[in-house]
């Protein structure tokens, strides 16, 4: 069994939206895929999706998803450092000069990974 969590459908009018939703539901039905209509949210002007708030003509950061980045403790493993950089990278388009800000962290990660090869599994390397 396969589960699909999200379909996001953008349209310029109610009529276009109805047509698109109908087409997608028909395609899913033809493929034998069922839809849980209790979980469906239709005709929304704003959605929160993958850490962003999406509205007509606007894309914003969902501040609830940045709490872990703002409150992050210093990384103690290579895996934790990669995880932090990956989470921060999601919002790079909103941070002026992100590549310059993050470069020292990426450089440190690279040097730690290179120096640790052969000592432990790359996922077990402890920093500091």
Task: Summarize pLDDT for 34-46 with one digit per residue, the tens.
Answer: 888 888 888 888 9
The whole-number pLDDT of residue 117 equals 64
Are 44 and 38 in contact, with CB atoms under 8 Å apart?
Answer: no
Q: Which residues of the chain have pLDDT under 50?
A: 122, 125
The whole-number pLDDT of residue 51 equals 87
- Separation between Cα atoms, residue 36 and residue 66, nearest integer Å: 30
The model's pTM: 0.60
Orientation of helix 78-89 relative to helix 98-116, angle to 10° = 160
Task: Summarize pLDDT for 51-70 with one digit per residue, the tens.
Answer: 899 998 899 999 888 888 88
The whole-number pLDDT of residue 4 equals 80
Element of type H or E holding 113 = helix 98-116
């Amino acid at each position: 069994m396969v589960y699909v969590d999200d379909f996001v459908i953008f349209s310029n009018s109610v009529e276009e939206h109805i047509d698109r939703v109908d087409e997608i539901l028909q395609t899913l039905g033809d493929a034998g895929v069922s839809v849980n209509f209790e979980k469906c949210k239709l005709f929304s002007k704003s959605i929160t999706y993958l850490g962003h708030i999406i509205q007509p003509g606007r894309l914003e950061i969902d501040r609830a998803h940045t709490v872990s980045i703002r409150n992050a403790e210093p990384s103690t493993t290579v895996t934790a450092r990669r995880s932090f950089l990956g989470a921060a990278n999601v919002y790079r388009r909103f941070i002026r000069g992100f590549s310059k800000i993050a470069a020292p962290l990426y450089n440190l990660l690279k040097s730690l990974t290179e120096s640790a090869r052969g000592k432990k599994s790359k996922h077990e390397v402890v920093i500091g």
